[in-house]
Amino acid sequence: MTRLTDTFAALADQTRLAMVERMMAEGELPAGALVQDAHISGPAVSRHLKVLRNAGLVQQRAEGTRRLYSVRPEALRAISNWTMDHRSFWQAGLDRLEAMLNEEDT
């Protein structure tokens, strides 16, 4: 199991957070596509991906010479669970959350 601090550490960097958000929005992406957006070198991106992978935040799949990366939902769920575990602390009342739920879905 990945420790929560490792998950947080993986997201404690603008470049990595942006990569993760992009993957969540666009789905699986090859390393090369992620290099385009990041204003850093390929090797740097490659290592950021390694960090994300070691933290269990993304998974890798090979397709020919490409490496396709995608976010692992479990990792995000772990964060969500943690905030939920402490919901009583930061949430004044249930109203806000319920409103959010009712708003977006259906």
User: Per CB under 7 A, which region of 17-25, 37-45, 78-86, 98-106 contacts DNA?
Assistant: 37-45
Per CB under 7 A, does 44 bind DNA? yes
- Say which entry of DNA, a copy of itself, none residue 99 contacts (CB below 5 to 8 A, set by partner kind): none
Single-letter residue type at 33: A
Rg of the chain over Cα atoms, rounded to whole angstroms, equals 16
- Say which entry of DNA, a copy of itself, none residue 58 contacts (CB below 5 to 8 A, set by partner kind): none
CA dist 79 → 5, 19, 37, 102 (Å): 10, 17, 26, 22
Per CB under 7 A, does 52 bind DNA? no
Size of residue set near a copy of itself by CB under 8 A: 36
CA 23 to chain centre: 8
Provide the pairing of β-strand 58-63 with 66-71. Answer: antiparallel
Cβ proximity to DNA: between 29 and 78 the closer is: 29
Per CB under 8 A, does 99 bind a copy of itself? no
CA dist 25 → 11, 32, 44, 95 (Å): 16, 17, 22, 28
Cβ proximity to DNA: between 37 and 98 the closer is: 37
Q: Which of residues 65-94 bind DNA (CB under 7 A)?
A: 65-67
